[in-house]
A and B are shown apart, each in its own frame.
Chain A
């Protein structure tokens, strides 16, 4: 077949990239080979625009067993235990078919985690939708939420945390990021690096169909009016089969049959075989007529590029074939030896003994293009908001407006659709700052959470990047966990656009800075570019997924007030930073100015002090302050608990609006029983922590002296109506 310009374009390759392929191969590729190049060289698999920036991220630490470069990151939580986790995007498929897109997103990230030997113990997600008034938003929300639940519930892994946001920047391009967390024994971690020649390459799992062909290139292209045409590539998830695959893999992993194992994710058989061979500096030969197919007459091209779900590739030790086959048979799954490792360094593809294609592996991996794309830096915005110039809104009205807004409303409409309790180790379900999952059969636990702050990142990417890592850190501290490491999903617009590339580079600088300072390394992640339609790009939305450790779980601490007449302490300084705040956005539709600055020294000191107090059992409840400021955080602590508050207005106050709604960073609210107060103050003073005693808890009413008083029942109602009315 003649490779025309049109074919090259349809494969998402530029003319220069094609010329480079010809040069590297020293000949023209055939269509199968071109398809393979396009799959491996697209943005999604090759990280061609992001790679030089990702290198900057701190990935090391005493707690890190495996950083980026494998299917997922691995950290040490003491004893024999390791935690394996990663986050991944499934934005484009979810926009096209929300239920299946989200479901297969969950399925895909689970495979990344159990392919390394972990039993998944928690699922999280970060979902961003367009404005609620946009005609598509409601059905996207419904579809995505039931898709996430549908997959996780069926396979039986609790979905325990996440975030849900609405903003018109996602009108034409929603974000669906899924994170999976698993537990493994340190001595039983499996990697994807092939070793040894002539080893059996085994295909296990579901059969291959025509679904998802070109999915990886779809994830690397902007949407346009013709996106509808790409629909047939949508994959259907089969969580039941994944459950079987999970159990079969974990069963096989009990002994030492496996040399290397890799899930078939984006670009399916192509990327999994290339990745395993490339890491082992080996060749791989596949006999494609052996591939289990669902449809008749599938071509080698279709088999190599199919993104059918629930499949894995395994390289087996000699003599283990029958043993392994028995296990997969028990679980009713296909198990076929489809090839072997070689010493040629080539990807060799045969179909009924005909050579269909042959490409040196290194051309697909290490010779893949790397772009140092141009980028522009962003200045710190200087516009200031003067409260005095704005129409006055009563404090109470402003608070109710925030609490009833889609972004701040209670999310139980969503989380009630997720099984949060299956596996019986969920000690803190969704709703608090982080979820807490006990390690099965032990008395330690991990805390997990995901966060993003797109408007901060849009306004000033560097500060935004720093802020989001810090917020994640704070959330883990708030449930009494020592933050250990993060995974990140970097959702950005078109990297060929200088400003977008600038947002990317600078966000990463900010992330790097915070991670380094807080000893909170990045162990895995994913980049999703081209989030936008017709040159309208989304706001930069890096999503951070963090994991922390609770060494001994006595009683999980959360954000809900526990008693009457307890002292409320505010940790950290309040300056009243209103630019980019939720207050201005919800009440005045103003989004301007710079995001709040993060002082990493304060961040660290405050956080460590809070963690210390929690570990000493001196705290009844804790909550970090984020979007919506102090008053929003206080009301969140009341809603759902049986207690209100009585807060004194601070004396040196310039404006109560700034004090109560300012989004200054590094702050926490702690509830303390009177009997612990002396001890707590002693510790805070000894560590030079700035704090204020701002009031105490009381029955029934949420009260700011001289400003507002409302019953906690009313507060609850206001906070719980939006989803039910939408």
Chain B
């Protein structure tokens, strides 16, 4: 399978995701944001980091870059798109995903392992997980507080477009298990066609037991499937 990782000035999880993809046997290419053509890809990843320093609004400036038009085209033709952390923020800025990521409610950067629940396991990104499986994944962000309007929220629920929700070890989804204030504890969402996934937690950080755990592996394995 061919994957492409888009690199913006200020991306800083680009190497991490590339390592994870290669470990999972993807044929991966790094694509610099000034390029105007995408290599043939089955999966496009917009990695985490601080594209353009997160200045103005996180993801806003990267959302205007040349390569984004290509990503939008690819998305429309059904290519899988995965936006992690800053990548999720960029996807919302381009309109590929709806809603927005506000500042964490405690106004602090948060880095820790949190539990998230797999809400829909019938997608290309999650088929290898069990429904309601609880994963322990690392988060690292300033703006992870997902917000969207009522109509869209209803749509997310009705069409089963919520990918992950923050929960506690036992799977309870509550305010206490919400690290950043996201509406309905949302940690990741799909577009209607479910070929685009945006998520705040970093699955690429969870592919190696020596460093953390391997809860992220099945995300990549699902895509590979």
In the assembled complex, the Cα of A424 lies from the Cα of B108 at a distance in Å of 22
Q: Which chain A residues border B202 with CB–CB below 8 Å?
A: 421
Q: Considering residues A332, A423, A426, A553, which has the most beta carbons from chain B within 10 angstroms of its beta carbon?
A: A423
In the assembled complex, the Cα of A104 lies from the Cα of B12 at a distance in Å of 19
Q: Which chain A residues border B211 with CB–CB below 8 Å?
A: 421, 424-427, 438
Q: B residues 34-63 with Cβ under 8 Å of A?
A: 48-50, 52-55
Q: Which of A146-154, A266-274, A560-568 is the contact stretch?
A: A146-154
Q: Which of A257-265, A412-420, A503-511, A635-643 is the contact stretch?
A: A412-420
- Asked if A417 meets B109 with Cβ closer than 8 Å, knowing A154-B53, A156-B50, A424-B208, the reply is yes
Question: Quick check: is B174 within 8 A (CB to CB) of the other chain?
Answer: no
Question: Quick check: is B110 within 8 A (CB to CB) of the other chain?
Answer: yes
Q: A residues 239-277 with Cβ under 8 Å of B?
A: 239-241, 243-244
Tell me the minimal C-beta distance from B144 to chain A in angstroms. Answer: 13
Report yes or no: B13 in contact with A243, Cβ–Cβ below 8 A: no
Interface size class of B (residues with CB under 8 A): 20 to 34
Q: A residues 412-470 with Cβ under 8 Å of B?
A: 412, 415-427, 438
Tell me the minimal C-beta distance from A563 to chain B in angstroms. Answer: 18
Which of A149, A412, A424 lies in contact with B204, CB distance below 8 A? A424
Report yes or no: A424 in contact with B12, Cβ–Cβ below 8 A: no
Question: Quick check: is B9 within 8 A (CB to CB) of the other chain?
Answer: yes
Report yes or no: A154 in contact with B210, Cβ–Cβ below 8 A: no
- Asked if A149 meets B109 with Cβ closer than 8 Å, knowing A239-B50, A240-B10, A427-B210, the reply is yes
Q: Which chain A residues border B138 with CB–CB below 8 Å?
A: 421
- Asked if A243 meets B108 with Cβ closer than 8 Å, knowing A153-B140, A424-B19, A438-B210, the reply is no
- Asked if A420 meets B205 with Cβ closer than 8 Å, knowing A155-B12, A240-B9, A427-B211, the reply is no
Q: Which chain B residues border A331 with CB–CB below 8 Å?
A: 9
- Asked if A423 meets B16 with Cβ closer than 8 Å, knowing A154-B50, A553-B210, the reply is yes
Q: A residues 215-260 with Cβ under 8 Å of B?
A: 238-241, 243-244
In the assembled complex, the Cα of A331 lies from the Cα of B7 at a distance in Å of 12
Q: Considering residues B10, B13, B16, B205, which has the most beta carbons from chain A within 10 angstroms of its beta carbon?
A: B10
Question: Quick check: is B212 within 8 A (CB to CB) of the other chain?
Answer: yes
Question: Quick check: is B112 within 8 A (CB to CB) of the other chain?
Answer: yes
Which of B9, B12, B52, B108 lies in contact with A417, CB distance below 8 A? B108
In the assembled complex, the Cα of A244 lies from the Cα of B55 at a distance in Å of 14
In the assembled complex, the Cα of A420 lies from the Cα of B48 at a distance in Å of 14
Question: Quick check: is B111 within 8 A (CB to CB) of the other chain?
Answer: yes
Report yes or no: A153 in contact with B204, Cβ–Cβ below 8 A: no
In the assembled complex, the Cα of A553 lies from the Cα of B204 at a distance in Å of 20
Which of B16, B49, B109, B111 lies in contact with A150, CB distance below 8 A? B109
In the assembled complex, the Cα of A243 lies from the Cα of B108 at a distance in Å of 22
In the assembled complex, the Cα of A420 lies from the Cα of B205 at a distance in Å of 11
Question: Quick check: is A555 within 8 A (CB to CB) of the other chain?
Answer: yes
- Asked if A555 meets B210 with Cβ closer than 8 Å, knowing A240-B50, A417-B109, A421-B202, the reply is yes
Question: Quick check: is B15 within 8 A (CB to CB) of the other chain?
Answer: yes
Q: Which chain A residues border B9 with CB–CB below 8 Å?
A: 240, 243-244, 331-332
Report yes or no: B210 in contact with A421, Cβ–Cβ below 8 A: no
In the assembled complex, the Cα of A669 lies from the Cα of B50 at a distance in Å of 42
Report yes or no: B53 in contact with A416, Cβ–Cβ below 8 A: no
Q: Which chain B residues border A438 with CB–CB below 8 Å?
A: 210-211
- Asked if A239 meets B111 with Cβ closer than 8 Å, knowing A419-B140, A421-B202, the reply is no
| Interface 1/0 per residue, B196-225 and A, CB below 8 Å | 000000101100101110000000000000
Which of A149, A417, A421 lies in contact with B205, CB distance below 8 A? A421
Q: Which chain A residues border B48 with CB–CB below 8 Å?
A: 422
Tell me the minimal C-beta distance from A712 to chain B in angstroms. Answer: 17
Report yes or no: A153 in contact with B109, Cβ–Cβ below 8 A: yes
Residues of A within 8 A of B (CB): 146, 149-150, 153-156, 238-241, 243-244, 331-332, 412, 415-427, 438, 553, 555-556
Provide 30 A-B residue pairs closer than 8 Å at the C-beta atoms, listed in order of the A residue.
A146-B108, A146-B109, A149-B109, A150-B109, A153-B111, A153-B140, A154-B10, A154-B12, A156-B49, A238-B53, A239-B50, A240-B9, A240-B50, A240-B54, A243-B9, A243-B10, A243-B53, A244-B10, A418-B111, A419-B140, A421-B111, A421-B202, A421-B211, A422-B13, A422-B16, A424-B204, A424-B205, A426-B211, A427-B210, A438-B211
Query: Closest 7 CB pairs between A and B?
Result: A156-B12, A240-B53, A154-B50, A419-B140, A424-B16, A419-B111, A417-B109
Contacts A156-B50, A412-B112, A417-B110 known; list 16 others, CB within 8 Å.
A146-B108, A149-B109, A155-B50, A156-B12, A240-B10, A240-B50, A241-B53, A243-B10, A415-B111, A421-B140, A421-B211, A421-B212, A422-B13, A424-B204, A424-B205, A553-B210
